[in-house]
Amino acid sequence: MSRNRIRQTLPGLLLVLLAIPLSVVAQTGDGWLPEVGEGPVFVVPIEGMIDNGLARYIDRALADAEGQDAAAVVFHVDTFGGLVDAADQIRKAILGAPMPTIAYIDRNAASAGALISYAADRIVMAPGASIGAATVVEGVGGDAAPDKYQSYMRGLMRATAEANGRDPRIAEAMVDQNLEVEGVSVAGQVLTLSSSEALKLGVADAILENLGTVTGALTANGAQLVAHEASGFERLLRFFGSPVVQSILMLMMLGGLYFELQTPGVGFPGLMAGLGAILFFGPSYMTGLAESWEMLVFVIGVVLLIIEIFVTPGFGLAGVTGLILVVGSLAVALIGNVGLSFPTGHAITQAVLTLAATMALLVILAFSLGRYLPRSSRFGQLILVHDLASAAGFTSSEARDDLEGRFGTALTPLRPAGAADIGGRRVDVTTAGDFVEAGARVRVVSVHGSRVEVRKVQSDSVDATSAI
């Protein structure tokens, strides 16, 4: 290759070599690392369903981090969302944290997860991760909630973005599909950003390969790394506090009460109702979702139903009041109220939908069990469900059809009932109304179950002695 050729090629090679580190900088972001102190670095997982149990855990994790003068807290985020009120509680806790906070989005930060990630001082994403789709829906995976709920969520996203210096229009576009942001999103689509798109638009501060890269940069000065985890008790609270499990527990309570009142004294349905009540109200009370007065209202409702069944049978004032108190207490227990102060919007909608779904399942369960359970052989071993008809071989007394037409002797006066000796057997008999003295010869004229009817035999009518 000639010297002139080399001189012409060298600048191009230099540009290619310079482009490699520049592309790396563009993917990792510049200046994402916050200023940290000398304390430990906490790693706190935010995974699965966003619920009140998780909000309780995040509060404890941040309190532990503050108690140990943590240099920073890294939230390991991978969630498709959850309850808006729980996400708002976590959002406020992160915004109020005294130490730097980093949200590392490992795979997904959808819906409520996007709101939580926006609350962190820095957002770092893994390659292939996504953030957005924060539209409020009715129930789990349901249709979009009315606009007043969307407006509330837009306000939360906008305020959180502004608090950390991010574009509020992009945050709102993740909620409102009708909002158009020039060069970012078009009307009719809820905004969801990939890692590279989020970095380009300033939503994410960096794209790093894994969580270890993030924590490695934060602990480069020798700081201790603390992998904070939820306790077994907190995981149990989250399990029983999930909407699906709460629906099952309410079904246990209401179904158990219904079948116990239908068959008093059996015990098993009542036991199931009591267990469901404990597992429903206990975790909800510990997570702050249910209050003591709500549990008291539930107990009063059950007592009134018992009074209606056992003390004043019928369906009067006590029964109606008890039913209202039981159902009402369950609905209120699903809402994160403080005293008699109730939130508005999504929390109430979700509580009503959860309770309505449970009541619908209860009706289906009662109908199905009432129709098909009595036919079960297992159920027949516990409760007598078959007719004891004579056609099936069941009788209430000894069959005496063989006595018809036979002769005997009255052992007692028949006025018209008494006893007679027929074929050597003492038999309770009766006449058609005639008086028959003791010792008279009688003949069985009909047998109907346990009723044996006889008639006095006239001496000249038949040789009774030979017929005995």
pLDDT of residue 388: 54
**Taking the domains of the chain in order of start, what are their residue ranges?**
23-230, 239-373, 401-467
> For the range 308-312, what are the long-range contacts, defined as Cβ-Cβ under 8 Å and sequence gap of 24 or more?
309/261, 309/264, 310/264
Question: Using one digit for the tens of pLDDT, what is the confidence trace for 427-463?
Answer: 999 998 788 999 999 999 988 877 899 999 876 554 4
Q: Is the peptide bond before 416 cis (omega within 30 degrees of 0)?
A: yes
CATH class belonging to 401-467: mainly beta
Look up tokens 């000894």; give the residue: 398
How high is the mean pLDDT of the chain? 79
Reading the block at residue 210, the tokens are 């894994």
pLDDT of residue 394: 53
CATH, domain range 23-230: 3.90.226.10
pLDDT of residue 339: 53
Query: Which amino acid, residue 33?
Result: L
Which carries the bigger pLDDT value, residue 345 or residue 198? 198
Mean pLDDT for 70-78 is: 96
CB-CB contact of 191 with 182 (8 Å): no
Q: 3-12, 250-259, 328-337: which has the minimum mean pLDDT?
A: 3-12
| String of DSSP letters for 212-251 | HHHHHHHTTTSPPEEE----HHHHHHHHHHSHHHHHHHHH
Q: Is the pLDDT of residue 84 over 90?
A: no
CA angle 235, 287, 141 (to 5 degrees): 70
Whether the pTM exceeds 0.85: the reply is no
pLDDT of residue 18: 41
